[in-house]
């Protein structure tokens, strides 16, 4: 693993040298984990990785993470920041002078921190390196794909086991809690994000919150879940009918299922990500549901649940080997219900597409 992280940093350094960036302040926790293997959620506290052109690295962490960070290999200095101490004071004391050009992830940078850095280094040109790191994180190795596949396998097992406990009248949150329990029993480290269970008309909320709704006969039941495994995440959505349901519910489901299949079939090296989105969207549109498909068809995932690339209709980026992403078309009709079917896909080293999620997709009545 030490060699893996060193190779990643070397690739990043090569990218930044071409742009004459001689110093970099990495502030995204996910990017820090990607480059040195240290995983932590600093919450509102400051955490950063300072990388100089000669490879020197300083890791800035909240003081309470000292023991955890002491096991990190490869860094030259560990700087502890006590609660209440300004981050810029720590940078002034340790960075060795004002850099001429400093790489920064601007999408992660808060306005407050940007103003503090501008005051600390008024003559520094700040260069956005988010795309450089994003491009690297957007192409996974076989080892990374295997970790996501293992996480997806735990999700498959957990969902199947949890459905065995389902009963009419069960509340959404009760089923979500059972899924989370089964994730751990299956071998996963825990949920990758807050497990979502939506029943009946509430399934039409693309980002709905699990609540106290009691799931009854005739409901659509939508479940969005993922698992953490060795720092990598899976992401899967499956939709069910409680009982027989209606012909219109079945038609909506089969439309989404076919859209899922078409997008996966369209996922080939050399095509644009926009065309993958369109493969699903055009089918849903042709079936009369176009106005009820309001989101992109997928996103990258790995150490974060949303990573590059973004699979939407304006992304002309080409599909390349190493991409690991979701395909998740959906239809959401207010007052009626919603269907989403989401899988994790990996474009392997031979350019072949592997489906990492294994839970069955034909319509299932429970």
- The CATH number covering residue 99 comes to 3.40.350.10
Q: What is the pLDDT of residue 71?
A: 80
Structure tokens that stand for 177 in this block: 């809690």
Name the H helices within 19-110: 29-36, 66-69, 87-94
Residues 159 and 131 in one domain: no
Residue 236: closest CA among 343, 147, 363, 346: 343
Query: Which 3-state string (H, E, C) describes 197-253?
Result: EEEHHHHHCCCCCCCCCECCCCCEEEEEECEEECCEECCEEEEEECCCCCHHHHHHH
Per-residue model confidence as pLDDT tens digits over 86-97: 888 999 999 888
Contacts 24+ apart (CB under 8 A), 84-92: 86/116, 87/46, 87/48, 87/60, 87/113, 87/116, 88/116, 88/117, 88/119, 88/120, 90/46, 90/60, 91/25, 91/50, 91/60, 91/120, 92/120
Residue 6 placed within a domain: yes
**Residue 169 pLDDT:** 97
Q: Tell whether the torsion through CA atoms of 212, 214, 215 and 219 is positive or negative.
A: negative
Residues 79 and 150 in one domain: no
Residues 115, 40 within the same domain: yes
Asked if 74 and 180 sit in the same domain, the reply is: no
In a domain, 212, yes or no: yes
**Which residues span the domain enclosing 178?**
142-355
Residue where a domain stops, chosen among 91, 118, 135: 135
Three-state SS letters, 112-165: HHHHHHHHHCCCCEEEECHHHHHHHHCCCCHHHHHHHHHHHHHHHHHHHHHHCC
Same domain for 197 and 326, yes or no, is: yes
Q: Are 101 and 83 in contact (CB under 8 A)?
A: no
The pLDDT value given to residue 1: 62
Q: Tell me which residue of 188, 207, 166, 366 sits closest to 294, measured CA to CA.
A: 207
Mean pLDDT in each 10-residue stretch from start to end of the chain (366 residues)? Answer: 83 90 92 91 90 90 87 87 89 88 93 93 94 92 96 98 98 98 98 98 97 98 97 97 97 98 98 98 98 98 94 97 98 98 97 98 98
Residue 340 lies in a domain: yes
pLDDT computed for residue 5 by the predictor: 87
**Residue at 366 is within a domain:** no
pTM of the predicted structure, to 2 decimals: 0.92
Residue 89 located in a structural domain: yes
**What pLDDT sits at residue 4?**
83
- Bridge partners of 221, per DSSP, are 199, 240
Structure tokens at 175: 């089923």
CATH number at 281 reads 3.90.230.10
- Domain shared by 121 and 6, yes or no: yes
Q: Are 190 and 338 within one domain?
A: yes
Q: How many domains does the chain have?
A: 2
Residue where one domain finishes, among candidates 112, 135, 158: 135
Residues 256, 341 within the same domain: yes
* 131 and 208 inside one domain: no
Whether 244 and 288 map to the same domain: the answer is: yes
Residue 69 per-residue DSSP state:
H
Neighbour-count burial for 212-231, b at 16+ CB within 10 Å, e otherwise? ebebeeebbbbbbbbbbbeb
Residue 65 within a domain: yes
- Is there a domain that residue 364 lies in? no
- Is the Cβ–Cβ distance between 186 and 154 less than 8 Å? yes
User: Do the beta carbons of residue 132 and residue 34 sit within 8 Å?
Assistant: no
| Domain endpoint, select from 135, 155, 182 | 135
User: Bridge-partner residues for 61, per DSSP?
Assistant: 80
Helix 130-137 and helix 29-36: axis angle, to 10°?
60
186 with 279, same domain? Answer: yes
* 203 and 351 inside one domain: yes
Contact between 29 and 42 under an 8 Å Cβ cutoff? The reply is yes
């Amino acid at each position: 693993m030490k060699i893996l992280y060193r190779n990643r940093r070397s690739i990043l350094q090569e990218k930044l040298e071409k742009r004459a960036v001689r110093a970099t302040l990495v502030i995204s926790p996910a990017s820090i984990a990607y480059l040195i293997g240290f995983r932590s959620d600093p919450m509102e506290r400051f955490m950063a990785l300072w990388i100089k052109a000669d490879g020197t690295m300083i890791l800035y962490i909240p003081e309470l993470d000292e023991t955890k960070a002491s096991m990190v290999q490869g860094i030259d200095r560990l700087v502890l920041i006590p609660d209440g101490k300004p981050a810029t004071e720590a940078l002034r004391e340790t960075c060795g002078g004002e850099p001429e050009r400093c790489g920064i992830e601007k999408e992660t940078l808060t306005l407050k921190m940007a103003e503090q850095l501008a005051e600390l280094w008024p003559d520094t040109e700040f260069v956005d390196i988010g795309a450089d790191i994003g491009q690297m994180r957007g192409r996974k190795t076989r080892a990374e794909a295997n970790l996501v596949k293992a996480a997806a396998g735990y999700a498959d097992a957990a969902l199947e086991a949890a459905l065995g406990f389902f009963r009419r009248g069960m509340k959404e949150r009760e089923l979500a809690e059972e899924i989370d329990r089964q994730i751990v029993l299956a071998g996963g480290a825990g949920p990758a994000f807050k497990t979502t269970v939506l029943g009946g008309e509430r399934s039409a909320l693309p980002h709905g919150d699990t609540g106290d709704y009691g799931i009854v006969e005739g409901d659509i039941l939508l479940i969005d879940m993922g698992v953490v495994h060795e720092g990598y995440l899976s992401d899967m959505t499956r939709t069910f009918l409680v009982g027989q349901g209606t012909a219109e519910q079945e038609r909506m489901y089969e439309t989404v299922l076919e859209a899922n299949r078409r997008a996966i079939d369209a996922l080939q090296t050399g095509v644009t990500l926009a065309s993958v989105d369109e493969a699903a969207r055009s089918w849903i549109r042709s079936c009369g549901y176009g106005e009820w498909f309001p989101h992109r068809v997928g996103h990258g995932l790995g150490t974060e649940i949303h990573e590059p690339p973004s699979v939407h209709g304006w992304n002309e980026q080409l599909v390349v080997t190493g991409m690991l992403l979701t395909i998740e078309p959906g239809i959401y009709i207010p007052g009626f219900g919603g269907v989403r079917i989401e899988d994790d896909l990996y474009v392997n080293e031979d350019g072949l597409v592997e489906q990492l999620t294994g839970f069955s997709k034909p319509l299932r009545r429970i």
